[in-house]
Structure 1
Amino acid sequence: MENLPQIEDPMKTSVDDLQFFQVIAASETLTEASRRLGCSLPVISKRLSALEKRLDVRLVQRGSRRLVLTSEGTLYAGRLNAILDQLRELEDLVTHGSGELRGSLVVQSTLGLGRAHVAPLLAEFAALHPHLQVVLNTSALPLRSHRQEFDVAVHVGSPPDSSLRMRRLAENRRVPCAAPSYLERRGAPAEVDDLALHDCIVLRENGGDFALWRFGDAGDPRHVHVRGSLSSNDGDIVMGWALEGRGVIMRSEWHVRPYIERGELVRVLPHVSTPAADIYALLSDAGHVPRRVTELIEHLAARMPGRLVRPIGSDAP
């Protein structure tokens, strides 16, 4: 895709122009945009310069390591999203009679949940709707809703942006646990404050205070600052360390349940409640929601709870 489509009249804006700049605005760098558009950096730069020349405005600040939109670029990106939403709504109205879903779906998820559950569910959905193009992006980075990087984001815990619409897909909470070998060596904590004296393995995610572990509920919140020599932004790495007996972890119930059922991990402080960390589908609160998005969310809501209560890797329906 080295040559992007050209418009016949250089004085008119095409849908391709809008889709092109939508990707630019959602990217951290032009290099990232070139990867997402499937063409080289010089082609991207030339296309962007041609668009700016035709509009007679600067849309992107040059000379910065990160892609920064000008005020005109921010305005252009915001308005074009609304225009593309209207076009997608028209496509939905046209295709609704046939029952076929068309177009593209971009889904964002955290690494662990994305690999274990979102990816299989998206594969199911794509098989049901062969005319859809489905993209899954997994990341340990915080959700960046302002960049319009997704149609649907699957998020664990309270949504970080109150402007997003949300649909709860499944109940979940984070629980502390450790391997039997660690508990034999160090003993089990009796109270929440005892965790401060233990080796705790922390997961760095969502840009929050990852060393602050929360307990209780809204009526009786409790927390403790934990310490330990090991931390990672990858939940599978954290899990591996815990299974080796290297410390206590605080992980989602969906993730640790299979290991607890097999006796490879033991829940600690079982008498202490932990706050909910439910799993949500998030989408922008602005504009029309395409039918392909609403049907995907319905599919996730119907299928995910059943997956979370059975062992990872089970083929049971």
Structure 2
Amino acid sequence: MDDLHFFHVVASNETLTAAARELGWSLPAVSKRLKALEQRLDVRLVHRGTRRLVLTSEGELYASHLEAILDRLRELEDLITHGSGELRGSIVVQSTLGLGRAHIAPLLGEFTARHPQVGIQLRTSALPLRPHRHEFDLAVHVGLPPDSTLRMRRLAKNRRVPCAAPSYVEQRGMPERIEDLAEHDCIVLRENEGDFDLWRFGDARHPRQVRVRGRLSSNDGDVVTDWALQGRGVIMRSEWQVRSHLDSGALVRVLPGVPTPPADIYALLSDDVHVPRRVSELIKYLAAHLPRRIGP
């Protein structure tokens, strides 16, 4: 294995132990190879003495550029070996939990059925994106990303809406103003980073917000929705996740006359890497088929 492939594996893992496991090597062998690479380049690529693998600034630079080199090399080899232009290679996709399970996973399955030489690894997580770690080729994210350096393409329109079960409204009453939510039991979704309990309303020109409180919170959107269906409180959820419950009457819209800002669904890519054709084709496929799955 050449140095480019070796360090790509190292930079893509949380620890040297995980990298050794992926490579099928012993940990001492990985450490020795990494030390030899650093000596050849005359720079330190990885900080020692940390529990997690942390790249130096030189390591970050090396990792970001070698990923583009490896992708272009694979595409060149595919073009030479398979002149048909068939899509080949692997793609790592990261998505939020609920959306990943309900819609992204089925679409990825369809895509691999159409392109049998493409392999896809789907990682679902409620944790915030870490693009500097180069952990994914493509991330599917609800709402604008916190990192402005990422390239993005909108896959589908979406917005978050407040809602509650009829039994909760019957017991506690229907909020009439945004400020009324502060006196209600609100169920908070602790997903990604930011102010979990700060609910936003209005639009870009007239933004409004309220800090809510309640006894229940979770990082799992399905759990939060189930609590609302049981009449435990008010939730703020994406339209795609609660539309069927609103249509059936299991949930009712709270403050229906008050607009909420968009929370569109985006495909995110690192801005400093070459985008392989298999990834760009996957983005086109998601943009073409995700709206029909989540639309009314």
Relative to structure 1, the CA distance from residue 48 to residue 84 in structure 2 (aligned partners, 3 Å threshold; closer, same or farther) is farther
Contact 1:22 1:81 in 2 (8 A): yes
- Letter matched to residue 108 of structure 1: Q
Relative to structure 1, the CA distance from residue 191 to residue 149 in structure 2 (aligned partners, 3 Å threshold; closer, same or farther) is same
Does residue 137 of the first structure (1) align with residue 120 of the second (2)? no
The one of 36, 41, 47 aligned to 1:53: 36
Cα distance in 2 between the residues matched to 1:221 and 1:78 = 37
The one of 52, 60, 63 aligned to 1:77: 63
Please report how far the alpha carbon of residue 64 of structure 1 lies from its aligned counterpart in structure 2 after TM superposition.
Answer: 1.3
Please report how far the alpha carbon of residue 52 of structure 1 lies from its aligned counterpart in structure 2 after TM superposition.
Answer: 1.6
Please report how far the alpha carbon of residue 85 of structure 1 lies from its aligned counterpart in structure 2 after TM superposition.
Answer: 3.2
Matches within 5 A, 1:217-256: 217-256=203-242
Contact 1:92 1:291 in 2 (8 A): no
Please report how far the alpha carbon of residue 96 of structure 1 lies from its aligned counterpart in structure 2 after TM superposition.
Answer: 7.5
What are the superposed Cα offsets for residues 96-121 of structure 1, whole Å, 9 maximum, x if unpaired?
A: 84141101111110000000000000
Could you tell me which runs of 5 or more consecutive residues in structure 1 were left unpaired when the two chains were aligned.
1-6, 8-13, 311-317
Cα distance in 2 between the residues matched to 1:55 and 1:276 = 46
- Letter matched to residue 227 of structure 2: W
Cα distance in 1 between the residues matched to 2:54 and 2:164 = 44
- Letter matched to residue 231 of structure 1: S
Q: Residue 267 of structure 2: SS of its match in structure 1?
A: strand
- Letter matched to residue 49 of structure 1: K
The one of 155, 162, 173 aligned to 2:148: 162
Cα distance in 1 between the residues matched to 2:206 and 2:57 = 45
Could you tell me which runs of 5 or more consecutive residues in structure 2 were left unpaired when the two chains were aligned.
none
Contact 2:144 2:263 in 1 (8 A): yes
- Letter matched to residue 250 of structure 1: M
Does residue 171 of the first structure (1) align with residue 157 of the second (2)? yes
Please report how far the alpha carbon of residue 254 of structure 1 lies from its aligned counterpart in structure 2 after TM superposition.
Answer: 0.4
Contact 2:203 2:260 in 1 (8 A): yes
Contact 1:85 1:287 in 2 (8 A): no
The one of 285, 294, 300 aligned to 2:286: 300
Q: Residue 176 of structure 1: SS of its match in structure 2?
A: strand
The one of 262, 266, 271 aligned to 1:285: 271
The one of 169, 179, 192 aligned to 2:178: 192
The one of 95, 111, 116 aligned to 1:109: 95
State which drifts further: 25-34 or 61-70: 25-34
What are the superposed Cα offsets for residues 196-230 of structure 1, whole Å, 9 maximum, x if unpaired?
A: 00000000111110100000001111000000111
* Structure 1 segments of 4+ aligned residues over 6 angstroms from their partners: none
What is the identity percentage for the equivalent residue pairs of Structure 1 and Structure 2?
Answer: 69
- Letter matched to residue 30 of structure 2: R
Q: Residue 135 of structure 1: SS of its match in structure 2?
A: strand
Cα distance in 2 between the residues matched to 1:188 and 1:33 = 54
Does residue 211 of the first structure (1) align with residue 178 of the second (2)? no
Contact 2:177 2:255 in 1 (8 A): yes
1:119: which partner in 2? 105
- Letter matched to residue 158 of structure 2: N
Cα distance in 1 between the residues matched to 2:52 and 2:24 = 19
Cα distance in 2 between the residues matched to 1:186 and 1:98 = 64
Cα distance in 1 between the residues matched to 2:32 and 2:59 = 13
Cα distance in 2 between the residues matched to 1:66 and 1:199 = 39
Cα distance in 1 between the residues matched to 2:6 and 2:126 = 26
CA RMSD of aligned residues (A): 1.9
Does residue 183 of the first structure (1) align with residue 158 of the second (2)? no
What are the superposed Cα offsets for residues 151-175 of structure 1, whole Å, 9 maximum, x if unpaired?
A: 1110100122222111111000000
Normalization by structure 2: what TM-score?
0.92
- Letter matched to residue 201 of structure 2: F
Relative to structure 1, the CA distance from residue 293 to residue 78 in structure 2 (aligned partners, 3 Å threshold; closer, same or farther) is closer
Contact 1:52 1:59 in 2 (8 A): no
Does residue 262 of the first structure (1) align with residue 245 of the second (2)? no
Q: Residue 118 of structure 1: SS of its match in structure 2?
A: helix
